[in-house]
Amino acid sequence: MSFLIDSLIFVCVVFMILRFRRKTSFRRLPPGPKPLPVIGNLHLLGDKPHVSTAKLSEKYGPLMTLQLGQVTTVIVSSSDMAKEILQTHDRVCSGRSIPDAMTVHDHSKHGMTWHDVSNKWRNLRKIGNNYIFTTVKLEARQDLRRKKVDELLQEVGNCCREGKSVDIAQAAFRTTLNLLSNTFFSVDLADTSSENAREFKDAVKSIMEVVAKPNLSDHFPILRFLDPQGIRRETGVLCQKLLDIFDGILDERLRSRKESDRRDKNSDVLDTLLDIAEDKNMDLDLAGIRHLFLELFTAGNDTTSSTLEWAMTELLRNPKAMSRARDELRENIGVGNTVEESDTSRLPYLQAIIKETFRLHPPPFLIPRKSGSDVEINGFVIPKDSKILINAWAIGRDPKIWENPESFIPERFLESDIDVRGSSFRLIPFGGGRRICPGLPLASRMLHLMLGSLIHSFEWAVEDDDCLGVEEVFGLTVHKARGLRALPIRGVVG
């Protein structure tokens, strides 16, 4: 029976590949390596697709076609070509290529990230831009975020007194989770005494790992009904754990609102979303709220904590940059004073450190797009329904636009107008165009606050230089192969 099923799968795959090739053979696709039968160019990806495709683009160009199983995939590896996709042809190229794992619990139908451009998607974007990530809303909760960073500093201070090292990734993850949960729910989700917190943390990390796995169902959509590797099933179980936690928070808040029979003007994001759902002025219901939190907590937590770990790693590898950052903080904040979110504008070198970290260690590929129709770019045609992958990692290390691209040099941004808000296509960790990450304002505040506080309040060293390695592990975000354990050797006092 197993042999018959395998044979049936093989025949179906061959049939679909041949059919797909007949449909696209007449079009002038961007150049690329010759595909093998059935698997196409899958064998060329390796365990670090961002690196292998960057090398291939050196031969085939910044707009390159790979046949990944059934799926025609266009790889974008330069800032000029990224601008074509994210700005010039943004309307045509704003569709989503949805991974099979993200269809669990109808997440792709509810979530903002994976929804195709539509009235519902526009409503979700409007809610994010006008009710969640506005300056007024973010500033209203900054005292709570400051409190969470103070708790991080207390934890680091205890390690300093006891001569213990700090697992930077773990501390960053826990703090980021509490920063987000206090902004959205006014509660700690990373309280070490909470069973829910431990389940939440484990589930978030597992989801990011599972979804990043190469999935046959994505390369051969004909196999999706089989879920041959069980990735969709595993993702479904993990996502349900988070949804159950959100359901508990939602139920408790709904009871509280009913009992108080009033709306608090100083409400958090959850209250704001419930107000919108109850007013029925926009297309938002409880299911939409649950899935909105699902994507905000998974993507937002992982990318922010990973970026902080990379920034600390690079500063410890580059003592002059660390010293310059600390001098800037002492001069502008004052020894013994705390760093506030509002101080960022007076800390250009700290801003440059964050930008340089994003350049060297961005999410490897932007969330995959899909062309809504045939589109001509640079003399080539990207066919309708093609998957489009923008290699942000390759753009950040392009020697044609960056001097010494492999080196950590924050100074390159001090006299530069390059930012991460999507207007400069040389630095696009949050994407660009209409699909730019709506959480950018909050992520930026959290990163500058946490990193500035850590390097202003303590001096740092490492017990083992091996943890300063920059070997990467591929995923939705690029993680360090070996986590950073840093030793706070002395607290800075007034």
Q: How far apart are CA 362 and CA 88, in angstroms?
A: 23
Domain boundaries, position 185: 2-491
Q: How far is CA 391 from the centre of its chain?
A: 14
Tokens of 416: 């530069």
CB-based burial label for 146 (10 Å; 0-12, 13-18, 19+): middle
CATH number at residue 170: 1.10.630.10
Q: Kindly report each contact of residues 43-50 with a partner whose C-beta sits within 8 Å and lies 24 or more positions away, as own/partner.
A: 45/214, 47/474, 48/472, 48/474, 49/364, 49/365, 49/474, 50/364, 50/365, 50/391, 50/393, 50/394, 50/474, 50/478
The residues that bridge with 472 in the sheet, in sequence order, are 480
Contacts of 382 (CB under 8 A, 6+ apart): 29, 30, 74, 93, 371, 374, 375, 376, 388
Number of domains in the chain: 1
- What global pTM score does this model have? 0.91
What does each of the 494 residues of the chain score in pLDDT, given as a tens digit? 443 345 445 545 555 555 545 444 446 999 999 999 999 999 999 999 999 999 999 999 999 999 999 999 999 999 999 999 999 999 999 999 999 999 999 998 888 899 889 998 999 999 999 988 999 888 888 888 899 999 999 999 999 999 999 999 889 988 988 888 888 888 888 765 556 666 777 787 788 878 888 899 999 999 999 999 999 999 999 999 999 989 999 999 999 888 876 555 557 889 999 999 988 778 889 999 999 999 888 888 888 999 999 999 999 999 999 999 999 999 999 988 999 999 999 999 999 999 999 999 999 999 999 999 999 999 999 999 999 999 999 999 999 999 999 999 999 999 899 999 988 999 999 999 999 999 999 999 999 999 999 999 999 999 888 999 999 988 888 889 899 999 998 766 44
Distant-in-sequence, close-in-space partners of 451: CB < 8 Å, separation ≥ 6: 308, 311, 312, 350, 353, 354
For the chain, what percentages of helix, strand and coil (3-state, to nearest 5) are there? 55, 10, 35
At how many degrees (to 10) do helices 348-360 and 319-332 cross?
A: 150
Structural contact between residues 268 and 187, judged by C-beta atoms closer than 8 angstroms = no
Q: 71-76 and 387-390: which strand pairing?
A: parallel
